[in-house]
Amino acid sequence: MATNELSYEYGVSDVPLMGKTIGVVFDETVARWPDKLAIISRHQSIRWTYRQYKEQVDALAAGLIELGLKPGDRIGIWSQNNAEWAVVQFATAKAGLIMVNINPAYRSSELEYALTKSGCVALVTSPDFKTSNYIEILHKLAPEITSCKPGKLISERLPCLKTIIRLGVEQTPGMFNFKQVMEMATAASAGVLQQLSKTLQFDDAINIQFTSGTTGAPKGATLSHHNIVNNANLTGHTMGVSSDDVVCIPVPMYHCFGMVIGTLLSVVRGCTSVMPGEYFDPQSTLQAVQDEGGTVLYGVPTMFIAMLGLDDFKSYNVTTLRTGVMAGSPCPIKVLKQAITDMHMEKITVAYGMTELSPVSNQSLMSDSFERRVSTVGVSHPHVEGKIVDEQNRIVARGEIGEYCARGYSVMIGYWADAEKTAESIDDGGWMHTGDLATMDDEGYVTVVGRSKDMLIRGGENVYPKEIEDLLYRHEKIEDVQVIGVPDQKMGEEICAWIKTVADHQLNEEELKAWCKEEMAHYKVPRYFKFVEEFPMTVTGKIQKFVMRDAMKKELGL
């Protein structure tokens, strides 16, 4: 069989890969456009030029060096979207530190896991966000904070963590303030920073992003400068983003989407990035596009649905929009059509990938027909190979269904401190196995047709039932639990948990929901609970989740 009849494709490109660290790219952009508006954080009334952005980044990087942090050390960031997030992103890269992204929705057990697994020696934290009081959660995990000197924490449950840096102006015993760390910079630490820009390597690990795992505990996808600098650059190139563009980022920063395709892409391409607010809100996003002349807009389909669904949508002037990315879950035809016609995003692209791929591996082209953009996830990204394989890892013929795999500069270094899980995902040939089922047509366009059987996508967030099941098993009144996804018009899928209680124990939905809200991120809390005596099983004792799904669809009238 000729190669072109097999499901294998590679992204040919005349754009070379960049062999540079994030710090070098940042400084080059500042040197080219020092007085250009670099970043706007609307809810903080911050508008920095590239020169001012660099002052902030360099001060923090030098301050972190003064605190004794060394290249390769892990530093967590637990915060909603704000300018400080972006400053931490670039400052840590310049200091050679590995930034660990912590989901703002995490609660105590998830935070403890992320900090311990990655061995964070420092943490930059927001004091609170929405219903989470971060300071309170940290005190619960490490009561020693209240009586220690800043930077001198010795905690039983968080053994690696020594330094906590809090955002905001209030003082908290045992913690440094963000501004305080920036003011620590000296000529000596600035000198160290200069030296580091010459010695850091672009293949160094720079970022750990926790992704939910099919086997329960989240895995720390570890990315290098090379991974994300090039993915940001090539995603921008595919959308035709130039220094004239204004990129609107309503997606969360802790996610690859926000920090790579958002703030990093803006720096690499020399354009202006705009944060409309601390978190996604349809009104503030459209207002930001209108007021700042946004030309590029990002979002998962549910975000576009929310913006287009506003009663006063037509009152916002979004005629400056040109392109953007819709990603994170399958894109409904109607929504893409509306984004093109009603939001003026004639050149909107659909992207596909995963954190482990830095994140984009496939993207539709601006010149693609509407049909192509709604029915496929585009072609292989520049410098990325894609193939579709059967269960024996053999490439299938074009048009046949198999597992989608990608290979190239964008494949992660591996899962942090988890050689076994890394080997399960990246094979001997260097291919990342996505677990997604897909087909490839004669032109190399890929269509994702299904997912590794268990994962569900709720509002663009990947949710793995096993992880929620493991958390629910901790409840003393629960004997057994099974989690499934059920269809939902707004979120794509919603989470449903079937619960079998311990004999002679009473448990109601209100009580269980309240417990879940304490123990897990909001997007993992099941929407539906069903209390049962037993689960549908095969003769050999395997749970039949498809039977449960069908039963719930009938019961809920979906």
* DSSP one-letter code for 18: P
User: Could you read off the pLDDT of 157-191 as tens digits, one per residue?
Assistant: 999 999 999 999 999 999 999 999 999 999 999 99
Question: Could you tell me what percent of the chain has a pLDDT over 90?
Answer: 81
Cα separation, 502 vs 52, whole angstroms? 60
Distance CA 548, CA 482 (A): 9
Residue 223 in domain: no
The answer to whether residue 29 sits within a structural domain is yes
Whether residue 306 lies inside any domain: the answer is no
Helix (H, G, I), strand (E, B) or coil at 213: strand
Q: Give the DSSP letter string of 405-443.
A: EEEETTS-SEETT-HHHHHHHB-TTSPEEEEEEEEE-TT
Would you give the distance in Å from CA 243 to the centre of its chain?
A: 25
Summarised one tens digit per residue, pLDDT across range 310-321 is 999 999 999 999
pLDDT at 453: 63
Tokens of 110: 């998830």
Q: Are 507 and 478 in contact (CB under 8 A)?
A: yes
pLDDT at 1: 40
From 82, 90, 93, select the one nearest 126 (Cα to Cα): 82
Of the three residues 217, 241, 258, the one that is the final residue of a domain is 217
Q: Report, in this order, helix, strand and coil percent for the chain, each rounded to 5.
A: 35, 25, 35
Q: How far is residue 522's CA from residue 112's CA, in Å, rounded to a whole number?
A: 17
Q: Predicted confidence band at 467 (pLDDT cuts at 50, 70, 90)?
A: confident
- CA–CA dist 88, 79 (Å, integer): 11
The mean per-residue pLDDT over the stretch 359-381 comes to: 93
| Helix intervals (H) in 495-541 | 509-519
452 pLDDT above the threshold of 80: no
| Cα–Cα distance, 100 to 78 (Å, whole number) | 9
Which residue, 182, 217, 252, sits at the end of a domain?
Answer: 217
**In sequence order, which residues have a C-beta less than 8 Å from that of residue 79 and are 6 or more positions away?**
85, 104, 124, 125, 126, 129, 167, 253, 254
pLDDT at 449: 75
Cβ atoms 39, 273 nearer than 8 A: yes
Q: Is residue 251 part of a domain?
A: no
Q: Are 276 and 284 in contact (CB under 8 A)?
A: yes
Determine the longest span between alpha carbons in the chain, in angstroms. 72
pLDDT: which is higher, 374 or 129: 129
Residue 505, class by beta-carbon neighbours within 10 Å (0-12 exposed, 13-18 middle, 19+ buried)?
Answer: exposed
Distance from C-alpha of 227 to C-alpha of 406, rounded to nearest angstrom? 13
At 171, list the tokens: 């003082």
359 upstream amide cis, omega within 30 of 0: yes
Contact 417, 220 (CB under 8 A): yes
For residue 118, the enclosing domain spans 22-217
Q: How far apart are CA 192 and CA 294, in angstroms?
A: 38
Residue 299 is assigned to a structural domain of this protein:
no
pLDDT value at residue 87: 99
pLDDT grade, residue 141 (50/70/90)? very high
Per DSSP, what are the bridge partners of residue 165?
Answer: 124, 176
Return the pLDDT at 510: 94
Which stretches within 15-132 are classed as H helix?
22-32, 50-66, 83-94, 108-118
CA contacts within 13 A on the Cβ side of 517: 11
In percent, the amount of the chain with pLDDT more than 70 equals 96
Q: Could you report the per-residue pLDDT of 222-248, keeping only the tens digit for each?
A: 999 999 999 999 999 999 999 999 999
pLDDT of 470 > 90? The answer is no
CA–CA separation, 426 and 447 (whole Å): 22
Whether the per-residue pLDDT at 331 is higher than 80: the answer is no
- What is the value of pTM for the model shown? 0.85
- Going by pLDDT thresholds of 50, 70 and 90, the confidence category of residue 30 is very high
Count: domains in the chain: 2
Q: Does residue 258 form part of some domain?
A: no
Is residue 326, in this structure, part of any structural domain at all?
A: no
Query: pLDDT for 68-121, tens place per residue?
Result: 999 999 999 999 999 999 999 999 999 999 999 999 989 998 999 999 999 999
- Of 154, 187, 217, the last residue of a domain is 217
- Residue 122 belongs to a domain with what CATH number? 3.40.50.980
d(CA 382, CA 370): 21
- The region of weakest confidence among 127-136, 452-461, 492-501 is 452-461
CATH number, domain containing residue 540 = 3.30.300.30
Q: Residue 252: which residues within 8 A CB-CB, separation 6 or more?
A: 80, 81, 103, 104, 258, 279, 280
Predicted local distance difference test score (pLDDT) of residue 215: 44
At 182, give phi and psi (nearest 5°): -65, -30
Q: Is residue 481 part of a domain?
A: yes
pLDDT attached to residue 214: 40
| Entry field: residues in the chain | 558
The pLDDT value given to residue 328: 75
Return mean pLDDT, the chain: 93
pLDDT of residue 542: 61
- DSSP annotation of 260 reads I
Q: Which residues make Cβ contacts (< 8 Å) with residue 467, sequence separation at least 6?
A: 212, 213, 216, 217, 218, 524
Q: List the one residue out of 303, 280, 327 whose CA is nearest residue 491.
A: 303
Under 8 Å CB-to-CB from 184, ≥6 apart: which residues? 62, 63, 66, 67
Query: Which of the residue ranges 37-41, 247-251, 554-558 would you say has the lowest mean pLDDT?
Result: 554-558
